[in-house]
Each structure stands twice: as C-alpha cells, then as structure tokens.
Structure 1
C-alpha cells in the first residue's frame, strides 16, 4: 500500500492573527495549508486547487462563512468546517443543516479541531476515490470489464487472453476455486474467430462413462449428441482432473480424431473444437497419481494460463468491491453504499479463500443489508464465513468427508493402520492410497 499523502486544507479567516495561529497549528500537524482572508476569493482558488477540506470563519466582511457554504456545489466541493467566536446553538444547527461537515466555537480546543478536520478530509478523499473508481468502471468495456483489475498479474492475464483469442491452440486454465476460470474460457471464445459459434461447458466431474456416448455422440437417426451440436465452437472441460478414466479415453479420441461415432451409426461424424480446460489441481501431480491421463494432458496444455488468487491482488480489492456493489445496487434498485475506512480495513484483512466469487457474494450481501438500512462489509464477510468450509463440488465434499473420517480413525486407533482400516471397512492398501491422495499427514494427526 502506498503511503498516504499529507492532507491539504484551505483556511479562510479575515483575522490575520487567528489565520496565522491556525496555519501554525495545522502545519505542525503535517497538513499542507493555504490561506485566504476573504470568502469571496474561494471560488477562484478552487478553480485551480483541490483541498481536502475548507476551514472557514463565519463572520467575515463581503461574504460570510454560511454564504460561502451555500455557494458551493456539494457534489464536487470539499467539506466545510465552520469556526466562529460568535456561534450559538441555532447557528450551529443551521450550518449543519445547510451542509457543513462541522461547527467549532472559538476559542477552539486544538485536538478536537484537528480530529474534526482529519475526519472531514478522510471522508472527502474516500468520496473522491469512489467517484474516480465509478467513472473508471463506467468507461470499461470488453475484456477490461470481464477481467477487472490493475495489478500486474491480471494485466498480464488480459494480454495473454487477447494474444490467444484469435488462435485455435488448446489452453489449460489453472487457478483456485472462484478465481474466474470459466470467465476466461468465455473470453477466449467471445474474442475469438467465431464468437457466434456454440460454447459447450462440460463439468467433467459429472460425466458418466456409461452414458457418455449417448449423451455426447448421439444416437443414429434419433438425436445429435452435445458434441455434434457444439461443433465449430469451443469445448470447455471444467474440473478436468475429476473426469472418470473411461470418459477421459473417449474425450482424447474425439480431440485427436476430430470425429465422433454416434451410437448405432456406421460412419463417424466430423467435429471441430477449440479446446479449453480448467482445474484447481496440480495437473502434473494428478498425472503422476494416474487420475489424469498423461496423453490427454499433452493434448490440453499447449498453453497454460495461471489465474492469481484474490489474496495476491490486494490492490484490486477496492476496484472489484466497488464494481460488484454498483452492479448489485442496480439489480436491487438502491444507491450503492460508499466504502468507508472500516470497510477498507475489512476487505484487506480477510484472506478470501473463495476468491473473486466470495467477494461477489459478500458485496451482494452488503447491498441486501443496505436495503434494510444497515450493514457493513465486515458483517457481510462474517455472515459468509459460515459457508467457507462448504466445498463447491461433490468431489471436494466427498474428499473432505473422507479426510475427516480417516483422520478420526487414525487418531482413535493411535496410528495402528490395520485397526484403522478395519474400523473404516476398507483394506490396508486402500487406506494407504487414500492417505496419499487426500494429502493426510499421519504424524500430524497423532
């Protein structure tokens, strides 16, 4: 995170000694101070400068502080803090109602004055930052809006997608759950040579070898298979490491031969695909363990793109959160709440195990809370954490269940593997294989 720049303030007071006293106090506190003796000079000053806050006396010749406040455009002008030796409660109330950030009576208490000014300046910077982000988001289009961010990793990824979109090479997408692998696959298709062609997404974990040929190849004289219907477009193989071995063999044959043989047909039907695959696993390890055919991997990994996890994109947090808040605010027809300092702290403190998908859910929850007149980013994150340990797929859920069950059995039998295997109702060899596959550390369990 870059170091915050010093706050800038414009002091407006016709009393020279008071003006000098305020300048000395503020400069000692690290502020960059400009000063004017008349409120009538403020508009000309603001035409070429952007202070974070204005501190103005109330009673001045020519134009009072209240008149200055009324003349400013609240949408773009910095916040105004009024100070007066003649103030009373009605004047203070009127000043706040007219849009003043605060009202301080002379003689002022320096610490309180600095606190009020700092809060006003922080709020103004946050408002300007959000306005800048909204303006930037409004101007984004195409790939910039799909792969939103400005960190080096996401900028490089956008360039790689642009470079590869117009080719037909096979692309393997690697990244944690929720990093946007299907978004990238769609971007490769939509920016490619035939965006109007079909995009067929297959969840490989859900494929069945028994029904694969009927579903994918079709039945002669009865139905076209999904692969035939999607020919000419993009074949997206999601969770490729979870594909059943028999289905892997059939997919490999289709990719190599560029044809399918419908059930009951005599002659094959030609098909043509741009193949994009995705996984959140280590494909080399999956191939070594025999869960992913090595010859299929060689057909899929001509180019490998790695999607960075959100925890490595801290500088994109505010941009992404602002985008999602604005998006859901339109859906639910409310004004998007501004991100304050506490919201920023919550965004940066969280580890985001669910990545961009989790951030999107948090932002939707924040908007739903705003519809009820409350909520914060921290509360939205806390509400989401009860779901953090819930796997996204059946395969992950089964693996998590097996990991917990095997771990308990090993602990209960104090590391005696034969006894643990017997209690689980599986063989010792099967238990050993599962321990390796699930990444269990036997020593750590005991």
Structure 2
C-alpha cells in the first residue's frame, strides 16, 4: 500500500452516512480527514485550520434541490480563502448545477454515490492544484520582494584597502557555508552589500535574497511582516500573505538593524530560528523554513547584552561568524575608487557622459571625515553631478565642511546655530551614528537631520 498523502481534507455534508463512508475510505489514503454535518460551522473550521481540499454538498435543507445553499457556501469559502480548492458533491440530477458551480469557482464535482477510485483520483488532482496555486502565490510574493531589491541602488562591493581585503577573505571562507553571519559596522558602510556578497558565494545563490529593515518594522506588524498572515487575521489583512521567512525559504534572509528589536520581538525571532518553522498570523499551522540567516546592525550588541537590552541567546544564534565593516575614514585609499564609481553611475543617469573629477576635488574628498560613510559619498557625488555646470567636478559642486572643525567655545560661540550643531553632534555620538534614533530623540525627521549633518559637516 502506498504511503498516505499529507493532503488535508474537509467533508461538509448533512448526511451522516456520507460523512462516515467518506471518512472511513479517505483515512486509508490521507493523513488528515475532518467531517462536518453543519455548514454554518465552515468559517469556524477555516479560521482554526487549513485544508487543501474541501468536499462540499450542494443541498442541506430537507427536500431542497435548487442547490442555493451550496452556491452560498461556495462563495463564502472563496471569500475566506480565495485559493481554496472546493469539490462539489452532487446527485445525478444536479450535474447541470454542478457545471454552474465550476463557473462560480468550484474546482470539480463528484456524483453521489461516488466511485471510490474516481473520488480518490479527483482528490489527488485537486491536491496537486492546491499545491500549485500556493506555489504560484509564493512566487508572486517572492517576485515582488525581488523587484523591490532590484530597484534599490547601491553599486558593487568596491575597495582595495587592507581592511577591505580582510573583509573579502572572511566572505570567501564563510560564503559557501550555511553559517549564520552577523555584520557589524556604522551606517552607510555597505552592510547589505556584504550580505549580498555572502549570498552570491553560497550554494543558495540562485534562490531568493530577501531583506528586512527591522528598524522600519513596527512592533504591531512584526509577526505579519516576518511570518505572514491569513486573510482576516487583522483589520487590513484582505488576503493571505506570505511573510519574509516563508518567501526566503531555500535562500537567504537578511535582517538589517537587528539591534532595534525590542526584547519581546527578540523572543519571537529566537523561537522561529530555533524551531526552524513559522506560523502565519491567524492560523495554527506551522510551516517549516529553510533559510541562511545574515543579520546586521550598527549598534553595540555586546554592550546591550550586558545592559539587558539584547538577548544573549539570540546573539549566540545569529553570530556564528562576525564581519566588521570598516568606516570610510579608516579606508581612505578606497575613496577615489568609490568616487569614480559613483561618478560613472551618475554620468549615465543624468546624461553627462564627459564629466570628470578635478584632482584637487579628489584630494578634498580624501581629507573629509565622511561620518555618513559610503552612503554619504554616494549622495555627495550625485548632488555634485546634478549641480555641475562644467566638464569637471569642482570643489564648489560639493557641500561639506573641513575634516577637522574648531571646537565650540560656549562663552564666545553661544549662538542658536552653535547650540544646534552641538546637539546634533551629541545625538549622533550617543546613538553611534544611527540616523533614525538620533532624529527621533531630536524630534525631527531623518531628512531634516541629514540636512543639518550636511550643513555642519558632521
């Protein structure tokens, strides 16, 4: 006898004989068969359970032959789960109505009394259809995520300096493994690029690379975003949706800004990583996941562990290997390479093919301390290309302060601008360069903070 199928089946019929016969026969071939004589309980079943195939009778009221109840419940099932696979159970005289049911969303129909072999073949075909439908939905969700990733601009991983050579060596050693990697570094140092390089070196390179900015995920949406949700599980859940873990299964999941997670969210993440399975919000069916995890942060996780702000067991789980990305000020020999890379990129974008960069300007770029690292250099070159009116980028096309600034003297420099600069410096230092946290504490937007950083050359 062939092994039982994992297909989950629900039979809805008001005739106990039909339910008993169906359960006895189908239990021989399927691991999970549930029966229900009262159709009004269908929503309750769909709320607490997941079914691959639903066998649905067309009439429930004694003497009824118009199948209106069957059509009503078919519509209700498809409203709850648009991907539901429903097979109508009908008497010989209802074949015409069954054909109508197909037009209204049913997958197939079987005749009473059914032939066991034909019923079995119909259920196996329906199960394959359900699996294909869910795979297509998963691929659509995955493609959306991939399209978003492709639309995010950031050039190649560039650098010839000694600190970057050390990074490359680590990526070469670790890339081919499935080891969890923690990437540490200031904002703008290229942590996502390092994660993508690890993915490309891995055996999962042909699978999805899915990113999650945990700093931008609110506590209320965390489970929905990472684990997915079922339709109706909360107010705006208008359809079933796969979470990032599920979409990334088989590939790599990159959790950026992991240091921003609150302790309750850290616990939920740890549970998923330890069990290697997730449960969509609004369901009770765990789904296995197969991911390679890469995490990143600019926050001092070890200090946070000592302060009780980050779970030590989660830190052990995510950092089998650590990669420390150097700030741009510690790899200044890479600045000309990066500047020319961004120049080539924006020459094409803004249709200025003959634009070059002045040697004095390159020297100035090398002297600047780049608190925003590569991201700041990227934006600075783009702005310069836009503002330039000549064939060579000049100092005047850039907007930055000297690499060293005069310390504030509160007795002589107590101006509004001086105080503002001091507060911006203090918040940036307090939050280790984290723009989101510094802006929040200052009570301004990230954009407003970037303008002040540019204004004061911080």
Gaps (5+ residues) in structure 2? 1-154, 232-239, 404-416, 445-458
> What secondary structure is seen at the aligned counterpart in 1 of 2:348?
helix
Distance in 2 separating the partners of 1:248 and 1:384: 41
Pick the aligned partner of 2:221 from 211, 217, 238.
211
Structure 2 residue 321 is matched with structure 1 residue 303: yes
5 Å-filtered alignment, 1:147-296, equals 147-220=157-230, 222-296=240-314
> What secondary structure is seen at the aligned counterpart in 1 of 2:253?
strand
> What secondary structure is seen at the aligned counterpart in 2 of 1:235?
strand
Correspondence for 2:441? 399
Structure 2 residue 310 is matched with structure 1 residue 312: no
Per-residue deviation at 1:374? 7.3
Whether the 8 Å CA contact 1:146–1:183 is kept in 2: the answer is yes
Per-residue displacement from partner, 1:310-344 (whole Å, max 9, x unpaired)? Answer: 11112112121111111211211213533333213
Distance in 2 separating the partners of 1:230 and 1:382: 40
5 Å-filtered alignment, 1:24-423, equals 146-220=156-230, 222-371=240-389, 376-377=394-395, 379-382=397-400, 393-401=435-443
Per-residue displacement from partner, 1:255-276 (whole Å, max 9, x unpaired)? Answer: 1110012234343110011111
Distance in 2 separating the partners of 1:317 and 1:347: 7
Per-residue deviation at 1:355? 0.8
Looking at CA atoms only, which structure, 1 or 2, has the larger radius of gyration?
1
Correspondence for 1:81? none
> What secondary structure is seen at the aligned counterpart in 1 of 2:182?
strand
Distance in 1 separating the partners of 2:401 and 2:390: 16
Distance in 1 separating the partners of 2:400 and 2:213: 30
Distance in 1 separating the partners of 2:178 and 2:209: 14
Whether the 8 Å CA contact 2:176–2:203 is kept in 1: the answer is yes
Per-residue deviation at 1:306? 0.6
Per-residue deviation at 1:375? 5.2
Per-residue deviation at 1:244? 1.9
TM-score normalised by structure 1 residue count: 0.53
Distance in 1 separating the partners of 2:177 and 2:264: 29
Per-residue displacement from partner, 1:394-446 (whole Å, max 9, x unpaired)? Answer: 323123459xxxxxxxxxxxxxxxxxxxxxxxxxxxxxxxxxxxxxxxxxxxx
Per-residue deviation at 1:196? 2.6
> What secondary structure is seen at the aligned counterpart in 1 of 2:351?
coil
Q: Measured at CA, do residues 401 and 204 of structure 1 come closer, stay the same or move farther in structure 2, by a change above 3 Å?
A: same
Distance in 2 separating the partners of 1:308 and 1:224: 36
Whether the 8 Å CA contact 2:368–2:401 is kept in 1: the answer is no
Whether the 8 Å CA contact 2:357–2:393 is kept in 1: the answer is no
Whether the 8 Å CA contact 1:347–1:377 is kept in 2: the answer is no
> What secondary structure is seen at the aligned counterpart in 2 of 1:276?
strand
> What secondary structure is seen at the aligned counterpart in 2 of 1:278?
strand
Per-residue deviation at 1:346? 1.0
Distance in 1 separating the partners of 2:378 and 2:202: 27
> What secondary structure is seen at the aligned counterpart in 2 of 1:146?
coil
Correspondence for 2:41? none
Whether the 8 Å CA contact 1:172–1:300 is kept in 2: the answer is yes
Whether the 8 Å CA contact 1:325–1:336 is kept in 2: the answer is no
Q: Measured at CA, do residues 207 and 366 of structure 1 come closer, stay the same or move farther in structure 2, by a change above 3 Å?
A: closer
Distance in 1 separating the partners of 2:222 and 2:267: 11
Per-residue deviation at 1:379? 3.8
Per-residue deviation at 1:291? 1.9
Correspondence for 1:62? none
> What secondary structure is seen at the aligned counterpart in 1 of 2:315?
helix
> What secondary structure is seen at the aligned counterpart in 1 of 2:326?
coil
> What secondary structure is seen at the aligned counterpart in 2 of 1:277?
strand
Q: How many residues align?
A: 258
Distance in 1 separating the partners of 2:160 and 2:183: 20
> What secondary structure is seen at the aligned counterpart in 1 of 2:400?
helix
Gaps (5+ residues) in structure 1? 1-144, 403-446
Q: Measured at CA, do residues 248 and 360 of structure 1 come closer, stay the same or move farther in structure 2, by a change above 3 Å?
A: same
Per-residue displacement from partner, 1:216-242 (whole Å, max 9, x unpaired)? Answer: 323357333332122111111111111
User: CA RMSD of the aligned region, Å?
Assistant: 2.8
Whether the 8 Å CA contact 1:214–1:263 is kept in 2: the answer is yes
Per-residue deviation at 1:158? 1.5
